[in-house]
Structure 1
């Protein structure tokens, strides 16, 4: 970390901030804290302040427009990024995201997500790093450093306890003080201490009775104890209280301008319900942010030249994906002697590639992290580029769950229509979803908007019954060809405003169409109203389901392809209805008949490799029947090329950042649904591997830190001197490989600590590379905090006394060297 560039404030910032503040009246200050629209703050020309733009991450930078007309790079998911266990690689990821931010005129990236994988059921876990607070903190430090050293601000999110999605707007998470300090607050503390983040985002949920956007006690911990000096922005729509929010240190309530600040904050000050001092403190933090990112006249930005150009981003995306893939299992097929992977390209005469996600890549999870890349390399694309016509594709199963946005075969555009009937210029769509979030194209005023028009042509690929539908709260008129197939209202009740924005789709008509037909489509949408509390937003969709295939036939075709192949590669995946922002998972099963497909293929060909294309754990009941399992997460737009690289010999660099259960019922923490509005974290500090190690008779599918290599590693020596562990490792295999040396601490047996203490805790790691026969020695610092626990009795950190075992190895359950230290 010593060579990371941590931008410092310039000496003139304080005076410039006070000078700008002095030009503002109360109304202007309150409006600055209220936001301008979905993604911007107001400009205050007399103060020398320009508008600042924020944008969603963490796997890309969307910018102000959620549209294919403004494409973005799509990186591997944060679970993938963290699976590299490589802060320097993650720092380069930060540089790439900063370059994207600068390209899109974005000042603040709303990332990284540093909530923990408390339960495997968390629906948004693909957007977070790990179940372990130390690993999360180390990876996030690099992420923040990489972005901010290029002059773009970050926001640590979601502070704090947003570890599940069920009832996230209303849930009160009841978390003990020790668990808060050792687990959920720890990454925020680590990032603040190491890399000085310029922002934090406070979460929708409450913690111990107080909503996080108005949680005075926990904001005081962040600012006064941890030393955080950045600005605090609410999650979108999370700010609910004017006085409590401003007094707790909420600086920016988004989206603007219809928030709890603005006129409501002015009234609160005028009526004596709060002091203008709190307003001034918040404005100072916003002006300091402006100075840091170059939005305040008269002072130089913290980074003089916001230049983060990445010369070959596609190659970097491919490298990130490759180094994130976790080789979970690699056995010799029945009758063979050597592990099935890597494949030898010249020996593969025929490869059967099977599964819907092999052809239609699942590159990212659902929700606010979604971006539109210009190109996507599917597994079929990548393997065909490497092996040519030796690849035979079979779909295998039909993952249809419900009607989805129109996609294949549709060439669509959308435009607003003025109140006088004038149609504005159209913009292209990636699919049938229209997402004008916080704006109307052409900067159309809300009073001048009549309706949205989506139109285009559908080129029919398959003869059969095609189902058409609509999505969105409002009045729909859907015309297919020259027939009005539906006209009417769509409404439904939900407590989640984002659910109200986006779905679900409803089937409206079934038409029999012939392959090759070109059918005009037209969809007029008039919203009932603009979403309350948000800038003008129009969200609706043209939905479509093609003729459904016979799944028995698909499985039979896949089995036939596998039987005739040298190797079968089956790509299994979750769907947008399985892993997404906004809801948690009811189970860990793969959707549809994918388990049945894998079992049938493996029975037909013992040389079966399964590629698991998910953001977080799934059950794999067929694991003992296949030769290899490769976990690829959501690998971003270059994932198909990276998959071909790894299957054909490139080292799979990843290690698990969360423990994978065999079955949901084995998992130690599964409760994510509140009762009477409360979700109790009764497990305390025992989540993830900490919890698994406390349970006799339960063994996960794969332990935290697990990941195989294409070579062999021998751990030769471990010494501990002072606050450092030195580990010597040798590559005793036949190829160059990559290893992640992991160091864990264990207190002496029987130590009596209030609330118990874990068997192991991760204390350090290092990613290394070595050629055959090469020895590498790494030095891993051991932080004082790693030997401590939070005493609720003393409300302070206390060192655990006695002897500690320092152990080094390949994962938490495969520790090969040990040494002793005294505390």
Structure 2
């Protein structure tokens, strides 16, 4: 049910602005803390709460937060091509914002995946601007229906994490307009988001947060954007320039670039009162929106967990799965199965989201291994890890307890609890505060962490710890690690932490508890840059010691089809991929290869058992050098709480897969259109030339006639579909026209098909892509059913941006209409005629 905005006792922006003193206005220009705007209680201005986003609502705490639902990552949702599903999820996210008393959701992300190696590729919907913008607009409107403001981000050309605060995305204006700005333009036209977040990077030499051409000229004047503009967190780099360009709010607080600096700029008249009023007005308009929503200010935070919500999470997880290959018809698994070998690091460990701002404390989770076991309770399910893919040892979260309950205990002291406390606590020493926690990944802490680790396997275990501070680690009372003088390391578990230090604890027995304790001090700690910090943290993980060859051999042994006279069905499911350590903010991937021995594992299992299903779980594409030997391949994105059940539903036929790739899977790094000028591999320090121009994603593969591993829009079903009866209406003078065709389910089971409409302009004044996605429709059909569908298109399907004119142009002539099951599987072709050229500026 939609939440109507409350019009009674409305917050009056004009009168409030008139009452505020200049000192109060200056305070409003930056945040109070990480998740709240600055309040002015004496003027009746409350503090607006914001929350990450975009696949769940974390609330105001990164550590020990109130649990929340985690939905599939952006690229997973993009690969559903499902407007109705995205709308449902947006509505639920709006409700969960309300449960966290959050007025603003910091999502969605619509940056274009210039390269799949970007650490945050998984957050965006697609490499295609039309698909990305269309789904994002639906998402935002759904969130808004609950009285919550959504935030479109990161504006603009924020396509890599390497040197993300300083690098310059050097993009031609045509490429910028047609590829990178286009999803933002679609969103602002179709959903008018209340908040827009600027990017960290520079655009053609000028930081996005102070780029007057980008913010004032294009966004506000040309597109008519009326919402508030906020910096990405710590992404404000100037005082005067950013305010004059139109950046309303610096986040997070306390301020770094505003406050006293603004007051000084006013004295010198580098800024005028009118400049401040313009920025404050937008902040007050957001306050008014929050006031009307009925969401309390500084309100409580609660978790939501209902059967209906779990059902939606499960359906979303299943719908985000893409069936890449089913050459032998092994799927769906509908015959009785006596034995299943489940293999791989992503089967047992739970990776429900990518890293960085996408991570949260989930209400619950279902691993792939647990999902498979639940789907076939009568079958014997054997497990072997086969290979490791972690940068840090897996967290202890599912294998620890304290005082008879799951979790651990954190105890805090304001002073040392006795001389030599790192080795031995003084008798009778008591912490000033303590709290239980469900995780062994703790931020902003200082004290003692105690838990009992219960291994589920026997053998020698490696224990790894990274600290924000200094300290020691104990196992059963014996110190196993001394980090009292450990130096900081780049890309550690969290900022300004030590490298991952490890020790081996030998002879552990499955089910036998091991008492673990970490004692650490975060008062003074020298960071990589020589600064001092008091921000503490702890990450502790463990895994059984297993050599690469030994691990693969274990996997092969359980995968081999050696049933003897019993002739029992023996099936192998290998689950490999990436995780939130490889795909996260602040770090890009070095290449598209799977980490560790994952490829060797897959190849070995395929040799041992031809009835092997390979499941890759990652937020963005990976290479598959074993693809020719694999008959059955499934791609699972970060699927949220219900990933395990959703995948099992697809594998065992409860759900007919309907996902289609929203990004191209390349065969090798060199095939990526951005290669080699991307990330650290650029011509000059600090500049990233977007040398491929408009030929991003499938446009680049088409232009260079490169065969991808799997093309954009590809995805198989357990049934088959045919296309017929294509027709188009004449293109009207304003560019509108309709494409109609019929889809028939020619298979024996019900299914859903995503039909994609591409437009080509073979004769143009400027070079154009061979084809561009301009429409799509997802149709559910019963076995044998046919349905006529229509896709309405407008001038956006025809035009290109002409920099000479500073305008969009649709040239007269014949356009080709291509309807297909993917960008490389075109089923129908037709033509549409535009009689007279026209041009336009703006939305």
Q: Normalising to structure 2: TM-score of the pair?
A: 0.88
Q: Does 2:715 align with 1:715?
A: no
Which residue is equivalent to 1:336?
none
1:805 maps to what in 2? 816
1:752 corresponds in structure 2 to 765
Match of 2:386 in 1: 397
Match of 2:678 among 672, 677, 685: 672
Q: Secondary structure at the match of 1:348?
A: coil
The structure 2 residue matched to 1:768, chosen from 779, 784, 787, is 779
Matches within 5 A, 1:251-650: 251-294=248-291, 312-332=308-328, 339-344=329-334, 346-399=335-388, 401-404=390-393, 406-407=395-396, 409-411=399-401, 412-418=408-414, 423-436=431-444, 451-459=446-454, 465-484=460-479, 485-492=481-488, 501=495, 503=497, 505-507=499-501, 509-512=503-506, 514-515=508-509, 516-528=512-524, 538-564=535-561, 565-649=569-653, 650=655
- Contact 1:568–1:607 (CA<8 Å) still a contact in 2? yes
Structure 2 matches for 1:55-204, cutoff 5 A? 55-204=51-200
**2-structure distance, mates of 1:6, 1:780:** 31
Query: 1:448 is matched with which residue?
Result: none
Tell me if the contact between 1:237 and 1:254 (Cα under 8 Å) persists in the aligned partners: yes
**Following TM superposition, by how much is the alpha carbon of 1:347 offset from its aligned partner in structure 2, in angstroms?**
2.8
- Do structure 1's residue 730 and structure 2's residue 724 form an aligned pair? no
State the alpha-carbon separation in 2 of the partners of residues 509 and 396 from structure 1: 20
User: Using a 3 Å threshold, how does the CA distance of structure 1 residues 530 and 637 change in structure 2: closer, same or farther?
Assistant: farther
Q: Aligned residue for 1:692?
A: 701
- Paired position in structure 2 for 1:654: 659
Q: Which moved more, 1:482-491 or 1:120-129?
A: 482-491
The answer (yes or no) to whether the contact 2:556–2:605 under 8 Å persists in 1 is: yes
Alpha-carbon separation, structure 1, partners of 2:131 and 2:280: 34
**Alpha-carbon distance between aligned partners in 1 of 2:609 and 2:409, rounded to the nearest angstrom:** 45
| Cα gap change, 1:630 to 1:668, in 2 (>3 Å) | same
* SS in structure 2 of the partner of residue 277 of structure 1: helix
Counting matched residue pairs gives: 787
Given that 1:703 and 1:813 are in contact with CA atoms closer than 8 Å, whether structure 2 keeps it comes out as: yes
Q: Does 1:245 align with 2:242?
A: yes
Q: CA RMSD in A?
A: 2.9
- Change beyond 3 A, Cα 1:387–1:406: closer
Provide the C-alpha distance between the structure 2 equivalents of 1:367 and 1:307, rounded to a whole number of angstroms: 21
- Give 5+ residue unaligned stretches, structure 2: 402-407, 418-429, 562-568, 731-736, 835-843
C-alpha deviations, 1:564-598, integer Å up to 9, x for none?
34322111111333222211111111111111111
Map residues 198-217 of structure 1 onto 2, 5 A cutoff: 198-217=194-213
CA distance in 2, matches of 1:366, 1:433: 13
> TM-score by structure 1 length?
0.90
Q: Which secondary structure state, in structure 2, belongs to the residue aligned with residue 143 of structure 1?
A: helix
Residues 174 and 802, structure 2, Cα contact 8 Å, conserved in 1: yes
- Give me the whole-angstrom Cα distance separating, in 2, the residues matched to 1:34 and 1:709: 50
Describe the shift of the 1:296–1:691 C-alpha distance in structure 2 as closer, same or farther (beyond 3 A). closer
Q: Is the 8 A contact 2:741 2:788 kept in 1?
A: yes
Q: Do 1:530 and 1:537's aligned partners in 2 also have CA atoms closer than 8 Å?
A: no
Deviates more, 1:416-425 or 1:624-633: 416-425
User: Secondary structure of the equivalent of 2:688?
Assistant: strand
Contact 1:415 1:423 in 2 (8 A): yes
Q: Distance in 1 between matches of 2:255 and 2:467?
A: 22
3-state secondary structure, aligned to 2:114 = coil
Change (3 A) 1:262 1:419: farther
Q: 1:427 to 1:518 in 2, by over 3 A?
A: same
Q: What whole-Å deviation, never above 9, does each CA across 1:226-250 have from its counterpart, x for those lacking one?
A: 1211111111111010101111111
What SS does the aligned partner of 1:546 have? strand
Query: What is the SS of the residue equivalent to 1:34?
Result: coil
8 Å Cα contact 1:418-1:424 kept in structure 2: yes
CA deviations on 1:499-557 (whole Å, 9 max, x unpaired) are: 8626453316444454325324132221426999x999834214344341133233223
CA deviation string 1:80-132 (max 9, x = no partner):
11111011210111111111111111111111010011112212101111110
Give the aligned partner of residue 22 of structure 2: 26
Q: Which runs of 5+ in 1 are unaligned?
A: 333-338, 441-450
1: CA distance between counterparts of 2:761 and 2:498? 51
Q: CA deviation at 1:66?
A: 1.4
2:426 corresponds to: none
